[in-house]
Amino acid sequence: MSSDTCAYDYYGEVMSTPLYLLLEKYPLSADYLANHRLNNIDKSKPLLSALTEADIDALEEFGLDAESLVLHFCKFLEAFTRSHTCDFGTIHSVTIIGGIDKSGAAENVSLTLHPGEIVSIVGPTGSGKSRLLEDIECMAQKDTPTMRQILINGVVPDDERRFETGGKLVAQLSQTMNFVMDLTVREFLEMHAKSRMVSNVEAVVERSFICANSLAGEKFTPDTKVTQLSGGQSRALMIADTALMSASPIILIDEIENAGIDRKEAIKLLSGNEKIILMSTHDPLLALRADKRIVIKNGGISKILVTSDEERESLEEIEKVDRVLLNLRNSLRRGDVITKDSVCGIKED
């Protein structure tokens, strides 16, 4: 189907609907109007009627007249709605079919994951944990160094799905977050909400900000520049953004424990929407919270283990140790002097 044909799917709606209702349904439309110097037209009328009062010279600057701008606007809605509503269909499963390790030995594994599952990826530094995440992100088809293959709902994904740059099937949170735009936190969240056609932008932005601050060790304000955020604050912001705004059904996380955030709450937040979550980690608390864990050795999948009841029971003891370490870290941050006696005297909160 051609883009012109798709655009006509919106033509009747645009011709008959008052602009203020279109702006509520498609928030990014406000940016379109502003870019074409039309943000001050009468929004109580449909677009074509409102254009009768527009500056004709401004339209001619863009090589458009009233009729052609309406069609151009319809194409805009078609492009951004298709790219950002993330209509993947229902994701029933993701399957990882083994390839080879660094020595060329076959992995001989096939692992199928379903929505709601959390999988940890463990192994020594440099063993290939991040490479597995990268294979899943690009939906590898035996075309990466590992020769692995990724199936979606049991079939090979087509090229359009693999290389879609808009609404992506996979959201990845890497170890480092580098912002290049000099936006405030509020502006950054608003931009993402609008680009994803989120309804009720203000409420979603506020909720995302509150969630990000609940994860971060050091609090920040909505007016803080994203370029001023620490590594942990940046990671907290992107986790909240991904959990509350992204429709991507698969989330990949690379060593969340290095971010200086409340990792337990982060995983709880991310796993609340029936997504498939894979996370590389060295943290036993996170590894044992997963349903399964993939053990990586020499670049290959060495084992796939299901978390046992006994391992889950051990989490209570691990959390006690973790709380003691957290209190010790907080003592250091306060500037306390750490002695042998003080370490022995640290209690759980």
List pLDDT tens digits, range 269-323. 777 767 888 999 888 888 888 999 999 999 999 999 999 999 888 888 888 888 8
295 and 316: one domain? no
303 and 319: one domain? no
265 and 290: one domain? yes
Question: For the chain, what is the domain count?
Answer: 3
99 and 124: one domain? yes
271 and 141: one domain? yes
DSSP state for residue 227 in the 8-state scheme = G
208 and 291: one domain? yes
Containing structural domain, residue 273:
94-307
Q: Which pLDDT score, from 0 to 100, does residue 2 have?
A: 42
70 and 157: one domain? no
Whichever domain contains 247, its CATH number is 3.40.50.300
Asked whether residue 255 is assigned to any structural domain, the reply reads yes
**How buried is residue 298: exposed, middle or buried, by Cβ count under 10 Å (0-12/13-18/19+)?**
middle
150 and 208: one domain? yes
19 and 103: one domain? no
pLDDT category, 5, cuts 50, 70, 90? very low
Q: What digits encode the pLDDT tens for the residues 159-215?
A: 777 776 555 677 777 666 666 677 899 988 988 887 776 767 888 889 999 988 888
219 and 150: one domain? yes
- Separation between Cα atoms, residue 16 and residue 238, nearest integer Å: 38
**How buried is residue 104: exposed, middle or buried, by Cβ count under 10 Å (0-12/13-18/19+)?**
exposed
Its pTM stands at 0.68
Asked whether residue 35 is assigned to any structural domain, the reply reads yes
- Separation between Cα atoms, residue 49 and residue 125, nearest integer Å: 63
Full strand arrangement of the beta sheet holding 110-113: 110-113, 94-97, 149-152
pLDDT, average across residues 47-52: 86
Asked whether residue 89 is assigned to any structural domain, the reply reads no
What do you get for the CA distance between the two ends of the chain, in Å?
Answer: 61
Q: Which pLDDT score, from 0 to 100, does residue 180 have?
A: 61
Q: What digits encode the pLDDT tens for the residues 7-29?
A: 567 888 888 888 888 887 777 77
27 and 150: one domain? no
